[in-house]
Amino acid sequence: MRLRMLGIDHNLAPVDVRALFSFTRRQTGEFLEVLRKRPDVEGAVLLSTCNRTELYVSAGKPFVTDLYGMICKAKGQCADAYRDAWTCRSGMEAVQHLMELAAGLQSLIVGEDQILTQVKEALTLARACYATDRVTEVLFRQAVTMAKQTKSLFRIDHGDPSCASQAIAQFRAMGEDFAGRACLVIGNGMMGRLTAQALLDAGAKVYVTVRQYHSGIVDIPQGAVRIGYGERYDYIPRCDFVFSATASPNLTIKKESLEACLNTSGCGSSQRQECGQGKAPQQRGGERARIFVDLAVPRDMECSIDVLPGVKRYDIDDFASAKSGALQEQYRAVLEQANRGAEEFRGWYECRDLVPAVRRLAEMAAEDVCWRMEPDFLRAEDYGLSTVEQITGQAAEKTVSRMLFALRDGLSPEVFRDVLGALEEILERDRRKRQ
Cα 270 to the chain's mean position, in Å? 42
Same domain for 114 and 168, yes or no, is no
In a domain, 420, yes or no: yes
Same domain for 171 and 223, yes or no, is yes
pLDDT score at 3? 95
| Digitized pLDDT (tens) for each residue of the chain, 435 residues in all | 899 999 999 889 999 999 999 999 999 999 999 999 999 999 999 999 988 999 999 998 888 889 999 999 999 999 888 999 999 999 999 999 999 999 988 887 777 778 999 999 999 999 999 999 999 999 999 999 999 988 877 765 444 456 788 888 889 888 899 999 999 999 888 888 889 999 999 999 999 998 765 445 567 889 999 999 999 999 999 999 999 988 777 899 999 999 999 987 554 443 444 333 444 444 444 456 899 999 888 889 999 999 999 999 998 888 766 554 556 777 788 889 999 999 999 988 888 777 787 778 778 777 777 777 666 666 665 656 677 777 777 777 777 887 888 888 888 888 888 888 888 888 888 888 877
The H-assigned helical ranges of 154-307 are 163-173, 190-201, 232-235, 255-265, 269-274
Mark 392-411 as b/e (b = at least 16 C-beta within 10 Å): bbeebbeebbeebeeebeee
In a domain, 338, yes or no: no
Cα 143 to the chain's mean position, in Å? 10
CATH of the domain at 125: 3.30.460.30
d(CA 421, CA 435): 22
pLDDT score at 322? 56
| Boundary of a domain, candidates 158, 190, 221 | 158
Same domain for 219 and 313, yes or no, is yes
Same domain for 154 and 44, yes or no, is yes
pLDDT score at 307? 92
Residue 174: burial class (beta carbons within 10 Å; 0-12, 13-18, 19+): exposed
Of 50, 129, 163, 351, which residue is the catalytic one?
50
In a domain, 323, yes or no: no
Same domain for 244 and 310, yes or no, is yes
Q: How many domains does the chain have?
A: 3
In a domain, 328, yes or no: no
In a domain, 194, yes or no: yes
Same domain for 409 and 360, yes or no, is yes
Q: Under 8 Å CB-to-CB from 208, ≥6 apart: which residues?
A: 185, 188, 192, 193, 196, 220, 221, 224, 225, 226, 227
Same domain for 154 and 179, yes or no, is no
Q: List, in sequence order, every beta strand (DSSP E) within 211-343.
A: 225-228, 241-244, 283-284, 287-288, 290-294, 311-315
Is residue 261 annotated as part of the catalytic site, yes or no? Answer: no
Q: What global pTM score does this model have? A: 0.66
| Boundary of a domain, candidates 158, 183, 199 | 158
pLDDT score at 161? 55
d(CA 398, CA 126): 32
In a domain, 333, yes or no: no
In a domain, 262, yes or no: yes
Strand partners, 53: 8, 48
Q: What is the extent of the structural domain holding 147? A: 3-158
CATH of the domain at 232: 3.40.50.720
d(CA 32, CA 130): 9
d(CA 411, CA 343): 12
pLDDT score at 243? 95
Tens-digit pLDDT profile for residues 160-214: 456 788 888 889 888 899 999 999 999 888 888 889 999 999 999 999 998 765 4
In a domain, 102, yes or no: yes
d(CA 277, CA 273): 6
d(CA 72, CA 80): 9
| Cα Rg of the chain (Å, integer) | 29
pLDDT score at 383? 59
C-alpha angle with apex 36: 32 to 38, nearest 5 degrees?
130
Same domain for 277 and 375, yes or no, is no
Same domain for 389 and 257, yes or no, is no
Q: Are 204 and 180 in contact (CB under 8 A)?
A: yes
pLDDT score at 393? 75
Same domain for 103 and 182, yes or no, is no
Same domain for 81 and 34, yes or no, is yes
pLDDT score at 317? 84
Same domain for 135 and 47, yes or no, is yes
| Boundary of a domain, candidates 158, 181, 209 | 158
Q: Are 344 and 410 in contact (CB under 8 A)?
A: no
